[in-house]
């Protein structure tokens, strides 16, 4: 397997040695190149410059940092650690459970630590540094001190490495119309989070509809919106939800009914499910329900749309909506961390109108009336004939 330095053009990596930890001791008589070794002021000793090691400071530390889309990896040639008598078992990140492993690549042994971005916080990554253009991930590879009795003689190695990505706070906004679920990929910083919306058959949220739901009027509709990838990195806030007669969420033709506005209830039947997961803006999964309805004019089928927002755990801006203040009526400013989900069609189960059965019943009733009137006319004619015959006989 060939060693590849997988560094994209738009990525920047920074590697910093702990200057008091990994500067090798060298021989003053051989310290002639000041770019490789540093002589003390009294010229009694010297140390290797950062990045060099060995008794002659003639070895260069081979360190590769790979800043990938989903993973951050540091690779250091084994010879560097062997010189300082550091075994692979003692190498780890700030969280000691995130340890190094030995891998041989193109016949060259390396000590490697590879973590996914969703492990960044748990492995002891530093708080993300952001500005308007970039976001930086900083980690530290360190060695556990080698204890001999009650003393430590070997130096501790500490290598800080940083991956800098462009801070693109954009959100992909496709409008997939899927009968049984809807999902969108939202990008916050350099992390791609997948958010999904689905409807469930009852309040247990254990069985999602696998086809277009058919729901009776006044029945409860159970909605779940959750982060299905990177759920440990982001909280989710449902800002707005509305129903339309059109599959296009922003189409003005037809009727529109708003269920949630600015994270707050806008329909009296809407209820957020109170669970241990947290309220709207406090967790990566949000559940709410409402009473099924239909629009007055056809078509009666409707589509559900929800605009959601990702909140990073270290974000200074509050994620939980303030629904008891007047702010709930204020328009939400444009937020590039928002994404849109659409679900449908949701079909309304409307019973057959009773007029059709009534028409069928009216047919025999009308026939009976016609027959009765016909018989009454015959009887009247017969009686009139009998009276005339009696009058003729009496003459």
Residue ranges covered by each domain of the chain: 21-60, 62-166, 182-319+335-349
Tokens read off for 371: 């027959």
Quote the pLDDT of residue 32: 76
Q: Report whether 15 contacts 5 (CB < 8 A).
A: no
349 Cβ contact partners less than 8 Å away, ≥ 6 residues apart: 214, 215, 216, 217
Identical topology for domains 62-166 and 182-319+335-349: yes
**Which whole number is the average pLDDT over 215-221?**
91
Query: If DSSP codes are grouped into helix, strand and coil, which group holds residue 218?
Result: coil
Mean per-residue pLDDT for 359-366?
46
Burial class of residue 203 in the structure, from the number of CB atoms within 10 Å of its CB (0-12 exposed, 13-18 middle, 19+ buried) = exposed
pLDDT tens sequence across 103-153? 998 889 999 999 998 899 999 999 888 766 678 889 999 988 777 777 776
pLDDT (0 to 100) of residue 191: 63
Residue 1 pLDDT exceeds 50: no
pLDDT reported for residue 324: 74
pLDDT of 194 over the 70 cut: yes
Q: Which of 290, 214, 231, 222 is nearest to 259 (CA)?
A: 290
**Are 258 and 242 in contact, with CB atoms under 8 Å apart?**
yes
**Contacts with 258 (C-beta within 8 Å, 6 or more apart), sequence order:** 240, 241, 242, 266, 267
- Mean pLDDT, range 315-320, rounded to an integer: 74
Q: What is the pLDDT of residues 220-242, one digit of tens each?
A: 999 999 888 776 777 889 999 99
Q: Is the pLDDT of residue 188 over 70?
A: no
Check pLDDT > 60 for residue 381.
yes
pLDDT in tens, 254-297: 789 999 999 999 999 999 987 666 778 888 899 999 999 998 88
pLDDT at 327 over 80: no
**pLDDT of res. 172:** 38
pTM for the full predicted model: 0.47
* pLDDT value at 391 more than 80: no
Classified as helix, coil or strand, 379 is helix
In the chain the first and final C-alpha atoms are separated, in Å, by: 136
CA dist 191 and 193 (Å) reads 6
CA dist 223 to 110, 290, 293, 386, Å? 49, 9, 15, 81
CB-based burial, 2-41: b 16+ in 10 Å, e otherwise: eeeeeeeeebebebebbeeebbbebeeeebeeeebbbeee
What does pLDDT average to over the chain? 75
pLDDT of residue 4: 34
Contacts of 276 (CB under 8 A, 6+ apart): none
Q: How confident is the model at residue 168 (pLDDT cuts 50, 70, 90)?
A: very low
Q: Which CATH superfamily is domain 182-319+335-349 in?
A: Zona pellucida, ZP-C domain (2.60.40.4100)
Percent of the chain residues past pLDDT 90, beyond the cut: 22
- CB atoms < 10 A from the CB of 262, how many? 17
Q: Which residues of 307-342 are buried (b: 16+ CB within 10 A; e: fewer)?
A: bbbbbbeeeeeebebeeeeeeeeeeeeeeebbbbbb
Superfamily of structural domain 62-166? Zona pellucida, ZP-N domain (2.60.40.3210)
CA distance 189 to 191: 6
């Amino acid at each position: 397997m060939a060693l590849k330095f997988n560094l994209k053009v738009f990525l920047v990596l920074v590697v910093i040695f702990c200057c008091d930890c990994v500067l090798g001791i060298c021989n003053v008589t051989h310290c002639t190149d000041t770019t490789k070794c540093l002589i003390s002021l009294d010229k009694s000793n010297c140390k290797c410059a950062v990045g060099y090691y060995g008794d002659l400071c003639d070895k260069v530390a081979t360190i590769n940092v790979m800043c990938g889309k989903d993973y951050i990896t540091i690779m250091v040639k084994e010879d560097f650690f062997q010189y300082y008598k550091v075994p692979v078992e003692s190498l780890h990140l700030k969280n000691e459970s995130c340890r190094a492993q030995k891998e041989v690549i193109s016949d060259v042994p390396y000590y490697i630590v590879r973590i996914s971005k969703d492990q960044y916080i748990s492995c002891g990554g530093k708080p993300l540094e952001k500005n308007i253009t970039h976001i930086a991930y900083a980690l530290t590879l360190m060695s556990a001190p080698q204890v001999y009795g009650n003393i430590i003689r070997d130096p501790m190695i500490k290598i800080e490495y940083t991956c800098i990505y462009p801070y693109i706070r954009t959100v992909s906004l496709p409008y997939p119309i899927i009968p049984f679920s809807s999902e969108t990929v939202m990008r916050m910083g350099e992390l791609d989070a997948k958010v999904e919306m689905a409807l469930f058959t009852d309040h247990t949220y254990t069985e999602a509809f696998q086809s277009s739901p058919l729901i009776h009027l006044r029945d409860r509709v159970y909605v779940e919106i959750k982060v299905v990838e990177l759920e440990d990195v982001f909280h989710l806030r449902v800002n707005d939800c509305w129903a339309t007669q059109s599959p296009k969420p922003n189409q003005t033709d037809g009727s529109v009914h708003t269920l949630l506005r600015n994270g707050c209830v806008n329909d009296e039947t809407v209820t957020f499910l109170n669970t241990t997961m947290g309220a709207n803006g406090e967790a990566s999964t949000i559940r709410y329900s409402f009473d099924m309805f239909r629009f007055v004019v056809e078509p009666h089928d409707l589509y559900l749309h929800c605009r959601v927002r990702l909140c990073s755990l270290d974000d200074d801006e509050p994620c939980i909506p303030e629904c008891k203040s007047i702010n709930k009526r204020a328009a939400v400013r444009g937020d590039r961390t928002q994404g849109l989900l659409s679900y449908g069609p949701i079909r309304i189960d409307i019973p057959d109108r009773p007029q059709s059965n009534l028409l069928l019943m009216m047919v025999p009733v009308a026939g009976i009336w016609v027959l009765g009137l016909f018989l009454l006319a015959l009887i009247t004619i017969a009686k009139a004939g009998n009276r005339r015959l009696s009058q003729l006989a009496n003459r």
